[in-house]
Chains A and B, each alone.
Chain A
Amino acid sequence: MTIQTFPGVMGEPVALRAALMLYPARYRRERGDELSAVFADSTAGTSRLATAREVLDLGAYGLRMRTGLTASSVVGQLFALAAPLVAGAVAGLCAAYTVDQVVNPAWVPAWTPPDRIGEVPAFVWFLGQALLPLLLVAAVLAGRRREARYAAFGVAGVGALGVLTAAVQHTPSLWWFLARSGESTPLLLAGLLFAFAPQELMEERPDARGRIAVLAAAAGGALILTAEGFYSSFGLLDRDAAVALLLVPAAALLFAARGRLAPAAIGLAALPMTLGFNVFRTWQSVGGMWRMAPLTVAVVVGLVATGWMLRRAGDGRRTGAGAGGVRSLV
């Protein structure tokens, strides 16, 4: 494929080329010239800011194609179905965590304003996890998609802050890092899942049945945290519950390979809630990395096989989606 330089993109061929490199090679061969031509026409005579937005938009679709998260792929449809549920689940989980902190406060309560600069991240994390998931689920229920997406990025940001803080504070202790970062991985994964789900497939505003599904997901998130013992070290003793909380949602993903997206979406919405802390819990309760290896290999092989089957399913047939997209769970 040759990337042509048109009058409208003088100065931006590198950015255009970089955006096109994000596309799968086959798609780039088939559509690269066409995309370049439309990009050139669209950016002719526009400001640098407008051109930069075009480049970002072009690159974003390339990334979606790379990751299989397009609106026409089965994975994308699965993400769109799971997104409102994951919003409910993370809101329920975080609300339960906040209530637990208020009812059973630590020696220094989490909401105590920081005295030192080093305490700021933990304070911001606590406020963020208490507020942003609620904003996310409120935006979903109100049908405010743009606000929901911003809130989802915020939720992911708070999760990333928690993981980073755990890494900085507890390295080189792997035990402490996994224990503390497990409290943030639900935020990080749920925020990313929602933010990168194809927006065009999501309902404008959930109906009564949809709102009930979101609220049920919130109750599910609170139940998951209860089953995890509110991240308490006592919860580490229950190996069977930890393995079940990992395997049941992961196994539900297999339904997608049979074209049954609803149960798979429920599993996908639950997995961000359970993954981080229960990997740590399982590792702790089975007695080390080597003993955990067979389970890890089984889960990874299962997930890779599911992903492979989904890609094949997406390549091989038209989706059942109508002109409006897939029928949402909500």
Chain B
Amino acid sequence: MTERAMQEPTLLLLTALADAPRHGYALIQEITAISDGRVKMRTGTLYGALDRLLQQGLIEVAAEEIVDGRARRTYALTEGGRGALATEAERLRAVAEEAQRRLAAVRPAGFRPVGGGAATLAFTRVRGAYA
């Protein structure tokens, strides 16, 4: 078995635990915040991911307590989880940096669509229509 890119729910979950240990519902809230409201993890999905990450040794149960009469486990990143998250963050950073570099390398005035004459002509006409 070899490593492959981390999937988004795993990345979000590990990111939510990166700065502090959190319990189940706090994780759901944190994931919603990190993803800017795009990902709303449901209870069954959350515990499926938590069980998998516990088994992989990427997270651990940091505390078990009763709060307001409710059972509450708090989860934390292990050293392995911290390392996996750092590796993934570095990979994403490198990709984002490369994307920025390539975008910056193209000057808008010199933009020429790939394909040559006809495409360039069409581009010019569109510009002319709005001029």
User: Could you list which residues of chain A lie within 8 angstroms of chain B, going by C-beta atoms?
Assistant: 4, 31, 33-42, 53-54, 57-62, 64, 70-72, 200, 203-204, 318-328
Contact = CB atoms under 8 A, between A and B. Distances in A.
A323 B89 CA distance: 13
B3 interface: yes
Contacts of B5: 204, 324
Interface stretch (B67-75, B92-100, B108-116, B122-130): B67-75
Interface in B1-55: 1-7, 9-10, 14, 24-25, 28, 42-49, 51-55
B72 A34 contact: yes
B120 interface: no
Contacts of B69: 4
Contacts of B49: 71, 200
Contacts of B85: 323
Q: For B10, B43, B58, which residue has the most chain A Cβ atoms within 10 angstroms?
A: B43
Contacts of B81: 323
A33 B28 contact: no
Given A320-B1, A324-B4, 20 more contacts: A34-B72, A34-B73, A38-B28, A38-B47, A42-B25, A54-B43, A57-B42, A57-B43, A64-B48, A70-B52, A72-B52, A72-B54, A72-B55, A72-B56, A200-B49, A321-B56, A323-B85, A325-B7, A327-B1, A327-B2
Contact of A37 (B9, B55, B57, B72): B72
Sorted nearest first, the 5 A-B pairs with minimum C-beta distance are A61-B44, A33-B71, A57-B42, A38-B24, A57-B44
Nearest to B71: A33
A323 B6 contact: yes
Say what secondary structure dominates the interface of chain A.
helix
Contacts of A325: 4, 7, 10, 52
A318 B25 contact: no
B50 to A, nearest CB: 10
B44 A200 contact: no
B47 to A, nearest CB: 6
A70 to B, nearest CB: 6
A59 B4 contact: no
A174 to B, nearest CB: 40
Nearest to B57: A318
Interface in B54-87: 54-58, 69-73, 81, 84-85
Contacts of A4: 69-70
Contacts of B7: 200, 204, 324-325
Given A34-B73, A37-B70, A42-B25, A327 B4 contact: yes
Contacts of B6: 323-324
Contacts of B9: 200
A72 B47 contact: no
A34 B24 contact: yes
A200 B1 CA distance: 16
B43 A35 contact: yes
B43 A38 contact: yes
Contacts of B70: 4, 33, 36-37, 40
